[in-house]
Structure 1
Amino acid sequence: MTLIPTDPGGARIAEAVQAARLYYFQDLTMAAIARELDVSRSTVSRLISYARSSGLVEIRITTPQGRAPQVEQALCDAYGIRAHVVPVAESVSDLDRLDKVALFAARLLGSFFDSDMVMGVAWGTTLSAVGRHLTPKRTHNAHVVQLNGAGNTRTTGISYASDIVRGFAHAYGARPQEFPVPAFFDHPETRTHLWRERSISRVLALQDRMDVAVFSIGAVGGQVPSHVYSAGYLENEDVVALRADGVVGDIATVFFRGDGSWDGIALNERASGPFLDRFREVPRRLCIISGEEKLAGLRGALAGGLVTDLVIDDLSAAALVAQQATAHR
């Protein structure tokens, strides 16, 4: 647990920090803290809750080597990743499942994004949900950059993607950098020429400096479809071409096959998302998954070495482990 330095001019912040120090560092009970501060127990409870929700306190759980839960350890052994499995009741809806996974991912993200870092964010249904749960954290000289354009033939997509990027940046006191280009260009040569423009190359250079990339896997189907498939980004002929190319999913609107390969997929030549060979060089690549309909895409991403950290619901994680075991029989 870490107490974040704060502005001492805020009376409530100062009280919250004091209560948190007594609670976490001195192991005092709520009643003892109430006597120490001459306030009620309910006030102490509110102060500690405020300290957690406002980012004054960070709580980290570490797992001893070799002592991870069974499913997490199985994923680590199979794919060489850091896996975080989120328990979710079987009776909840797909939307509630996504929300619980997004909440966990938001708290985890705050534990390894810090000052002087660059975070790349892919827009979409899952990242929008994560953004609603981010806990504020003070950083300095940090940047949040959009990974791919969001415009299409029906809408600019700017406000949707910008809201996500700015929400992440605001939570961490970072500088937001939108990427005001289409998700897919009509012609590959348009992207080639535009990438030479100084205003665009500046964004690309920031992407090349990423310390953390946060994304989900785009997939067709399920009660919570991926935004790229549900919001008019792909024409019917695009979907047909993707199926012919054996595509199983995408990261930031760049597509890949079940074996993790992405070369020779025609639509990638027109995509504004990151080149996946360079994307693999990002030190930390956090993938957030909710729902078994994304498992085919997740397996492809894992096969391509595109994921270092995974947050996934327990039912999907168990299914992934079972599929891995079956594939190696």
Structure 2
Amino acid sequence: MPGQEQLSGAEVGCTGPKKSMHKSAGGYAAWRRERMAAGPLASRAMSPGGLSEGGEEMSGQRSEGELMGSEEEVPLSQPTAREMGRSAGGFTPVQPNLFEIPEIKVTPYPVVEGDEMTLTCDTSLSPLRPRTQLKFPFQKDGWYVQGFSSTNQYGVQSAQVKDSGNYSCEVTTTTNSVRKRSQEILVKINELFVTPVLNVSNFEVLKGDNVTLTCNTSLSPLRQRTELQFAFSRDGRNVQDFSSSDHYGIRSAQLEDSGNYSCEVRSAANISKKSEDVFVHIRGEKTTDYTLQNILRLLASGIIILIGAFIVYCHMKFVRDSKTKNGEDAEERVEEHQL
């Protein structure tokens, strides 16, 4: 109709470009009379985009009441008019999150070998969708260690040093329509105790000597009260079962006691570590060792013997000279007496 302005779909459903809805009082009254004269069906019909300038009806029509006050229910990703704020330039949508970006957490902290380690993928659902089903895969160094599961935890029953790495988790819906990933965290598994070292009391062992082997290790300062057990073996065969003693003794060593010795340390959590082999050689007899020290000892002994012989020689010479002189004196006294 002349003078009639178009009523846009943007003004009704907020989905198209915004146009003016201003109508004069006379134009609107004339429009109403024309629609009523056309019959009840035409009076109820209206296109989502409004009427054309020629007053023709369009498909997808709605009633006047629907135009003036109804709200269409939309999915979570499509906010309703009540969830939209008005700004100077038009409508500003508020996008609610189905769930928050997850955060991965580890317990206990710090983690020591043998601990039961648990990783938790922590997130929270929107109160608009509290019954949404989620799945939680976990990754270590970019590789999946647990697939898509309904539990938000990944556990390691007895943590080992090899379990150290960068861990992350994902949260996804069952249809993968929404998927979010946590930041990576570095998880370091601390050693419960260091690899043991086997020490031998004597480097030169002779047949009949006593030998002591010691298995040396040290506990982590995080677990100083942990009890350890020690075992010893020779050439792969056990010579002392696990006990609290870190010593193994060989009394009156024999030639057959020679061999490659090693020790093993374990904890109650079945953390076990083994030392390197140490070769122990039992000698049958001592070989001559012409060292400088022995040479000096021989020289000193020879000098002492020479000095002793010289003293004896001087003493015997003195005795002999004394006897000779005494005899001469006796003869002179006899001659004098005869005269």
By the TM > 0.5 criterion, same fold?
no
Question: Rg bigger for which structure?
Answer: 2
TM-score between the two structures when normalised by the length of structure 1 = 0.19
The structure richer in strand per residue is 2
TM-score when normalising by structure 2: 0.19
Considering fraction of residues, name the structure with more helix: 1
Structure with larger RCO (C-alpha < 8 A, sep 6+): 1
